[in-house]
Chain A
Amino acid sequence: MEMLALLRGLYAIWLRELTRATRDRAQLIGGVSRPLIWLLILGVGLNPYFRGEVYGEVRFVIPYTYLQFLFPAVIVLNIMYTSIQFAVSVIWDREFGFLREVLVSPMPRPLILLGKVLGGSTVAMIHGGLVLILARFADVTLSPLQIVQALGLMFVLAFGLTSFGVILAARVRSFEGFGVFSNTIILPLYFTSSSVFPLDPSLTRAQIVTAYPEWLVFMVQINPITYAVDALRGILITFNQFPSAMGSAVIFGMAVVFFVVALLDFRRA
Chain B
Amino acid sequence: MNAQPDAAIVVSNVTVSYGAKRALDDVSLTVPAGASFALLGPNGAGKTTLISVLCTLRRPDRGSAAVAGADVVRMPTQARRSIGVVFQDSSLDDRLSAWENLEFHGLVYGMPKKRRRTMIEAALALVELEEWTHDIVRSFSGGMRRRLEIARALLHEPRILFLDEPTVGLDAQTRQRIWQYLETLRRERGLTVLTTTHYIEEVEDADSVCIIDQGRIIAQDTPAALKERFGQRWLTVLPQDQEAADAILASVPQVRRLGAQRLALPAEDEAATDAFLSTFRDRLSEVRFQPPTLESVFLSLTGRELRDRADGQRDAEKAAGRRGGQR
- Encode A1-12 as 1/0 by CB contact (under 8 A) with B: 010111011011
Check if B107 sits within 8 Å of A11, measured CB to CB: yes
Among A12, A97, A103, A104, the most chain B Cβ lie within 10 Å of the Cβ of A104
CB-CB nearest in chain A for B88 = A97
Cβ of A108 within 8 Å of any chain B Cβ, yes or no, is yes
Tell me the total A-B contact number using a CB cutoff of 8 A: 73
Cβ of A23 within 8 Å of any chain B Cβ, yes or no, is yes
Check if A9 sits within 8 Å of B57, measured CB to CB: no
Inside 8 A of B83's CB, which chain A residues have their CB? Answer: 104
Give the docked Cα–Cα distance between A2 and B185 (Å).
Answer: 28
CB-CB nearest in chain A for B100 = A19
Contact of B108 among A9, A19, A96, A100 (CB under 8 A): A9
Inside 8 A of A24's CB, which chain B residues have their CB? Answer: 95
Q: Which of B92-138 contact A (CB under 8 A)?
A: 92-96, 100, 103-105, 107-111, 136
Check if B110 sits within 8 Å of A98, measured CB to CB: no
How many residues on B have C-beta within 8 angstroms of the other chain's C-beta atoms? 28
Inside 8 A of A15's CB, which chain B residues have their CB? Answer: 104
Inside 8 A of B93's CB, which chain A residues have their CB? Answer: 16, 20, 98
Cβ of A106 within 8 Å of any chain B Cβ, yes or no, is yes
Contact of B87 among A2, A5, A16, A97 (CB under 8 A): A97
Give the docked Cα–Cα distance between A108 and B105 (Å).
Answer: 14
Check if B57 sits within 8 Å of A13, measured CB to CB: no
Give the docked Cα–Cα distance between A93 and B242 (Å).
Answer: 50
Inside 8 A of B81's CB, which chain A residues have their CB? Answer: 106
CB-CB nearest in chain B for A97 = B91
Inside 8 A of B108's CB, which chain A residues have their CB? Answer: 8-9, 12-13, 102, 105-107
Among B85, B90, B109, B110, the most chain A Cβ lie within 10 Å of the Cβ of B110
Cβ of A57 within 8 Å of any chain B Cβ, yes or no, is no
Can you list 19 A-B pairs, Cβ within 8 angstroms, ordered by A? A6-B110, A8-B107, A9-B109, A9-B110, A11-B107, A16-B93, A16-B96, A19-B95, A19-B96, A96-B90, A96-B91, A97-B90, A98-B93, A99-B91, A101-B152, A104-B85, A105-B108, A106-B81, A108-B77
B residues contacting A by CB (< 8 A) are: 55-57, 77, 80-81, 83, 85, 87, 89-96, 100, 103-105, 107-111, 136, 152
- 10 other contacts beyond A9-B110, A96-B94, A104-B56, with CB at 8 A cut-off? A4-B110, A6-B110, A9-B107, A12-B104, A13-B108, A20-B96, A97-B89, A104-B57, A105-B109, A107-B108
Q: Which 9 A-B pairs have CB atoms at the shortest separation, nearest pair first?
A: A5-B110, A12-B107, A97-B91, A101-B91, A9-B108, A8-B107, A105-B108, A104-B55, A106-B80
